[in-house]
Structure 1
Amino acid sequence: MLRLGPAPVNGGSARVTAWKTAGEIEPAFDILEPSERASPVVFNSPHSGARYPASFLASSRLDARALRRSEDAFVDELFACAPQFGAPLMRAHFPRAFLDVNREPYELDPRMFDGRLPPFANTRSLRVAGGLGTIARIVGEAQEIYGARLPVSEALERIETIYKPYHRALKRLVARAYRLHGVALLIDCHSMPSVGLARDERARADVVLGDRYGASCSPAIVDFVEQEFRSLGLETTRNRPYAGGYITEHYGAPASDLHALQIEINRAIYMDEQRHVKRPDFEDLAARLAGVVERVATAPFGSLGRVRAAAE
């Protein structure tokens, strides 16, 4: 059952802003609301935040440039048009290297912390083993973030004051869309490096759609979204190398008309990955993507009731 929390206030986002403490990332996230809630689609950008607490930077072995390798930089701007078409856009302002809301709430590596983690913490997941839990241990090519162990209380504070409010707000948006339209589609917006770490990995597509191999979203919706991206001449594939994370898995229940689809945009098509700046044609791509956003936001997804009936 969706549990709902208070709505956050709107606020602007600056790039690589340093704050004195974690509690001063305010607002930690915001929601760009449409003037009319005409769409069953909710857009979410959980990894585009770039407000770095000064205490976090001080505790890190890495400089801000290295830490930014984990950002889905500028993705919130690529999808900022969503409210024009009746769909809200939720976006994080805290960086993924500081806290990852696309993980379970307590997916934590005990080797990172001083003190005992709660007994319900998931300390053995593959994501924890890879250094990418709720509080990440690494960024980029396995670069260690911290120079020393963190107090357990620091991890729990980030979860209580940012992670949980974020998901309460996101659940509320999805529940509202479902209440108004009888169906809800959560589009989780991300970006990916143009080149993978594995030497034998083929060149990545322009767009990767993740539906947990069919478990989180109706195939009809995925087909529709895939065709929209391909109509722009963008090479689009599914689930490899990204099938979707916690958000896609947790919010997607197609048999109940609750759909979740992850979209990964290849960073090379909109930014300079080394200098961390937008390409000169960024606005042109954003304008082209606006057409996709419009057609997805205004598609007649209410007719997908028959998908639920067939699944049952």
Structure 2
Amino acid sequence: MTGQPPAAGSAANAAGKLNEPHEPELDPPFDVVEPAVLASPLVFSSPHSGDAYPRRFLDRARLSAATLRRTEDAFVDALFSGVRSLGAPLLRARFPRAYLDLNREPYELDPRMFDGRLPLSANTRSMRVAGGLGTIPRVAGQAQEIYAARLPVEEAIGRIEKLYKPYHARLGELLARAQRNFGVAVLVDCHSMPSGASHAGVIPTSTIPSSLPFAPSGHEARPKADFVVGDRHGTSCAAVLVEVVESELRRCGYLVQRNKPYAGGFITEHYGVPASHCHAMQIEVSRALYMDEQSVTRNERFAEVSAALTKVAAALAAAAAALPSMHRAAAE
């Protein structure tokens, strides 16, 4: 299977040299909600719904916990929890995206944030880094600086070694298991989007198609969609699978767009290799559908939206299960 977990890179041997304090809030840093019986080639990932904030991180942050919480894809793991009844696993991070962003390259780092030399393999020039949204984010909220002072570079490497790489390794294992059992794997990367318009004025969405953790300002227009389904403009997932998701969402009464403004980030691009029978799509849910964005609490429509997503997942599972026979028929 292609789309394997990101390579360790030149900093791989640094893990044994790290002497960071243990973060009890991140024990474990992520978990897998496994089905009672594995019955589906689908694998769900919720990389941005974590809300376990290390005390040490909060003590060093310039921003309040409430501001940081608004960067979360809050409750998205719970929204998709019904997939367990369909026989599909759900991998979910417990740490927040403001602490470490799993939807980035492993070493997408801003040198201005750190004391010490970054690994030679670090990508320091991406548009995401320029916008403060690297693997270790520099900003949150209204592009506000998260940290009051520079971080030791060893701390950044430690987060990547202890959190990022194990998460991606587990995700790769789940996808490989799906392929062994069903002949195909379909990754659904689960996210939420602010109910304001896209943030193209901050960072062009053509450059950064994945979710941006900025709170919308009051003058921005409402979004044009309840859901955005991203397939990296047709490169990461078979069109039939995306069409099933869109059709089912519309049948439930929702407005749906494809790839605008979110086409999928690193996870969708890295793991979605349809030629190798591993497909990946990103689903963005408008936060206004299921939560109060200011208080970060579930609203009265939460159960409705969650039930709709379980219906969508059931339709997608059926379509995914039919893919291997479709491939065999096309090859004959």
Task: Give the whole-Å Cα distance in 2 for the aligned partners of 1:281 and 1:121.
Answer: 42
Task: Give the whole-Å Cα distance in 2 for the aligned partners of 1:241 and 1:2.
Answer: 24
Q: Calculate the TM-score normalised by the size of structure 1.
A: 0.90
| Contact 1:2–1:175 (CA under 8 A) maintained in structure 2 | no
| Contact 1:85–1:298 (CA under 8 A) maintained in structure 2 | no
Task: Give the whole-Å Cα distance in 1 for the aligned partners of 2:25 and 2:79.
Answer: 26
Q: Which residue of 2 aligns with 1:129?
A: 130
Q: Which residue of 1 aligns with 2:238?
A: 218
Look up the SS of the partner of 2:81 in the other structure.
coil
- Residue deviations 1:48-80 (CA, integer Å, cap 9, x gap): 000000010011000100001210000000001
Look up the SS of the partner of 1:141 in the other structure.
coil
Return closer, same or farther for 1:53/1:183 CA change in 2, 3 Å cut-off: same
Q: Which residue of 2 aligns with 1:45?
A: 46
| Contact 2:62–2:147 (CA under 8 A) maintained in structure 1 | yes
| Contact 2:34–2:84 (CA under 8 A) maintained in structure 1 | yes
Look up the SS of the partner of 1:120 in the other structure.
coil
| Contact 1:204–1:266 (CA under 8 A) maintained in structure 2 | no
| Contact 1:42–1:187 (CA under 8 A) maintained in structure 2 | yes
| Contact 2:43–2:89 (CA under 8 A) maintained in structure 1 | yes
- Residue deviations 1:111-148 (CA, integer Å, cap 9, x gap): 00001101110101111111110000011220110000
Quote how far apart the aligned CAs of 1:301 are. 3.2
Q: Which residue of 2 aligns with 1:92?
A: 93
Return closer, same or farther for 1:65/1:89 CA change in 2, 3 Å cut-off: same
Q: Which residue of 2 aligns with 1:254?
A: 274
- Residue deviations 1:263-293 (CA, integer Å, cap 9, x gap): 0000000001111111122122222322222
What runs of 5+ residues in structure 2 fail to find an aligned partner? 6-20, 202-218
Q: Which residue of 1 aligns with 2:58?
A: 57
Paired letter, 1:218? A
| Contact 1:44–1:89 (CA under 8 A) maintained in structure 2 | yes
Return closer, same or farther for 1:103/1:33 CA change in 2, 3 Å cut-off: same
Q: Does 1:141 align with 2:142?
A: yes
- Residue deviations 1:143-174 (CA, integer Å, cap 9, x gap): 11000000001000000011100000000000
Q: Which residue of 2 aligns with 1:155?
A: 156
Q: Which residue of 1 aligns with 2:186?
A: 185
What runs of 5+ residues in structure 1 fail to find an aligned partner? 5-19
Aligned residues: 296
Task: Give the whole-Å Cα distance in 2 for the aligned partners of 1:224 and 1:3.
Answer: 26
| Contact 2:43–2:188 (CA under 8 A) maintained in structure 1 | yes
Return closer, same or farther for 1:110/1:281 CA change in 2, 3 Å cut-off: same
Q: 1:284 aligns with which of 298, 304, 311?
A: 304
| Contact 2:25–2:52 (CA under 8 A) maintained in structure 1 | no
| Contact 2:184–2:320 (CA under 8 A) maintained in structure 1 | no
Q: 1:237 aligns with which of 246, 251, 257?
A: 257
Q: How well do the aligned residues superpose, as a CA RMSD in angstroms?
A: 2.0
Task: Give the whole-Å Cα distance in 2 for the aligned partners of 1:143 and 1:3.
Answer: 34
Return closer, same or farther for 1:237/1:276 CA change in 2, 3 Å cut-off: same
| Contact 1:2–1:172 (CA under 8 A) maintained in structure 2 | no
Residue identity over aligned pairs, in percent, reads 57
Paired letter, 1:268? A
